[in-house]
Amino acid sequence: MQKPSDIAHEMLVRMYRQMSLLREFDRRSVRLQRAGRIGTYPPLEGQEACQVASTLALRAQDFVVPTYRDYGAMMVHGVPMENILMYWNGRSEGCEIPHDVNVFPIAVPIATQLPHAAGLAWAAKLKKEDQVALGFFGDGASSEGDFHEAMNFAGVFKLPVVFFCENNQYAISVPFARQTATETIAQKAAAYGVTGLRVPGWDAVAIYRAVRDAVSRAAEGGGPTLIEALTYRYGPHTTSDDPTKYRPAGEAEAWRERDALHLLSQSLRTFGLWDDELETALAKEIDETIRSAIAIMESLGPVNPLHLFDHVYASLPKYLQRQRDTLLSELSADAIRTSLPKEPSQ
């Protein structure tokens, strides 16, 4: 790689540091799941450049609109790591998003977040505020109606939105070729009057440039962009999935040969921006960051049952207030019962 003249050195280093953090976070999260310390977890290893380089190209005022696999992008844009862990640990505190952080909640139903990205961008346009929305999705999501409706709205209303497809080749077990008869996702943009392009998902610099340019075009009234990044998830879809059932042996290893993190590390070293000493210091820092996030998650104790009723409505309707009171009395009844013979199991 040529030393980029259009990207600050600090930014290149920042990208690398964030990508390294995500990779380690991901590996530890998988281990936490295996040890029963968090619940089902969707690994992102392989997709670090897609999430980090794209999000670093945003301004603080821009929106990140993620799926369940884009907690990496969420963290880069300001959601605390411990919140992500709490979410995968099945605690509602994990849904907390700091007030000054423009990140939407994780979307689980496929493609449903994309119209939201269009709407967030639309509001910015109507309010004449300089804000762009970056909506993430997978190749599978491009089969859903919501994807097409979002693209169409974005095109018709010329919205400042960037749709970012992490084409990791599979939707759970179903390969890309079963999602579309077109050669690329990017070419679908043409049908909606949206700018479309495809970038190598293993090239953080290319991703950064594509999103940076799309964001400035959007901010200047140039309308929406669809970016398709070719990438791969090395691991399973989630910790309850077995990819050996549907992926040829050796495929993941072949993708590792052009691993984004490795490639960026090599480039930084060639440019004289990185060395072993920095790497050792980074590893230590990452270890401490992740340990402290895990410690926060695990220091919380049992989940407060009354969280069930929080934020369902702005204020609790009467019948829910009654249910909440009943729940409280049940809980104390249960406390008394623990000294009696054991309850039938559920």
Question: Is 141 among the residues that bind ligand TPP (CB under 6 A)?
Answer: yes
Q: Is 208 a catalytic residue?
A: no
Q: Which of residues 133-192 bind another protein (CB under 8 A)?
A: 140-141, 143-146, 171-174, 178-180
Structural contact between residues 23 and 93, judged by C-beta atoms closer than 8 angstroms: no
Helix intervals (H) in 237-317? 251-256, 260-270, 276-298
Beta bridge pairs of residue 174 = 171
CA geometry: angle at 274 spanning 270 and 279, to 5°?
135
Burial of 136 (0-12, 13-18, 19+ CB in 10 A): buried
State the number of binding residues for ligand TPP (CB under 6 A).
Answer: 14
**Which residues between 2 and 41 bind another protein (CB under 8 A)?**
39-40
Residues 211-230, one symbol each (x = binds another protein by CB under 8 A, - = not), give: --------------------
Whether 311 sits among the annotated catalytic residues: the reply is no
Interaction with ligand TPP in 159-188: which residues (CB under 6 A)? 166, 168, 170-172
Q: Using CB under 8 A as the criterion, what x/- string covers residues 37-76 for binding another protein?
A: --xx---------------------------x--------
How far, in Å, are 30, 62, 105, 132 from residue 212 at the CA level?
32, 12, 23, 11
In contact, 214 and 174? CB cutoff 8 Å: no
Sign, Cα dihedral of 150, 104, 84, 13:
positive
Residue 140 binds ligand TPP, judged by CB under 6 A: yes
Of 37, 95, 48, 101, nearest to 70 by C-alpha is 48
Q: Which residue is catalytic, options 9, 178, 246, 258?
A: 246
Candidates 31, 34, 98, 109: give the one binding another protein (CB under 8 A): 109
For residue 100, state whether it binds another protein (rule: CB under 8 A): no
- Selection from ligand TPP, another protein, none that 90 binds (CB < 5 to 8 A by kind) is another protein
If the CB atoms of residues 188 and 237 are measured against ligand TPP, the closer one turns out to be: 237
Tokens of 42: 């969707």
Kind plus residue range of the DSSP H or E element containing 226: strand 225-230
Quick check: is 233 catalytic? yes
SS3 206: helix
Residues with a known catalytic role: 233, 237, 246
Positions in the binding site for another protein (CB under 8 A): 39-40, 68, 87-92, 94-95, 106, 108-110, 112, 140-141, 143-146, 171-174, 178-180, 240-241, 245-246, 303, 305, 307-309, 312, 319-320, 323, 327, 330, 333-334, 337, 343-346
